Every structure is written in C-alpha cells, then in structure tokens.
Amino acid sequence: MSDYYRPADAVLQERLAATPLFGGLARPTDPATSHQAAAKATTFAGDHRTRILEALEAGPAGQTELARRTGLTVAAVSRRLGELSRGGLIVREGEARSASGGREAAYRRATDGR
C-alpha cells in the first residue's frame, strides 16, 4: 500500500522505527538486562525524535530553537537531528541564529511524502 492511503501517524511511526540507532544497542550475546536497557533506550530515542518532528510543525528551526521548543538538551537534539536526517524525515534549510547570536543549520520536515 502506498503512503498516500495510510494515516500519516502510521507512516511516521514506521519510519521512526526504521531509523537506525548507531547500529544496534545490544549484541545477541549480551545478558537479558542489556537487551531490556537497549529496548528502553530505543523507546526514549523515538520519543525524542517524535518531539522534534512535532516542534518542526511550527516551522523551520535550528538545533538551539528546537531544544527550547522540546525541552531537550542541544546535544540530544543534535544527535536526533542526524538520525532524522539520515531517515529522510527532515531536510536542512538554510541557516538560523543561535541563542548566542551565532549561525547554525536550520531544519524543516521533509515534504516529499516522507
């Protein structure tokens, strides 16, 4: 089924689930507690990515502004922006001013059906 006929939330959740997190967080030989921690970290990262995508609905923004909109740290936003960019969910769009007056990349949600 094409993305056109599926609810946007279902498409977003599928793409978020497919976005890689540094090649896997637990190895098959790791103890069960490591697999549980990896599952929690994956859920946590998915929550961050969702919050960033929702913040971008208000318009393009740099990582400093996204950190302000989402309540995440700039470092967490930077990490998740890389994941979202690799997943094709966001694109870089020009520059934005940071809180200190410097320049940083601005991002927006991808509009090509992704």
Per-residue pLDDT, 102: 84
CATH of residue 8: 1.10.10.10
Domain limits for position 61: 3-18+31-109
Averaged pLDDT in 10-residue chunks for the chain of 114 residues: 56 60 56 57 66 91 93 91 88 83 89 53
Q: Report the number of distinct structural domains present in the chain.
A: 1
User: What is the pTM assigned to this prediction?
Assistant: 0.60
Calculate helix-pair angle for 74-86, 63-70, nearest 10 degrees.
110
Domain-embedded: residue 26: no
Beta strands across the sheet bearing 90-97: 61-62, 103-109, 90-97
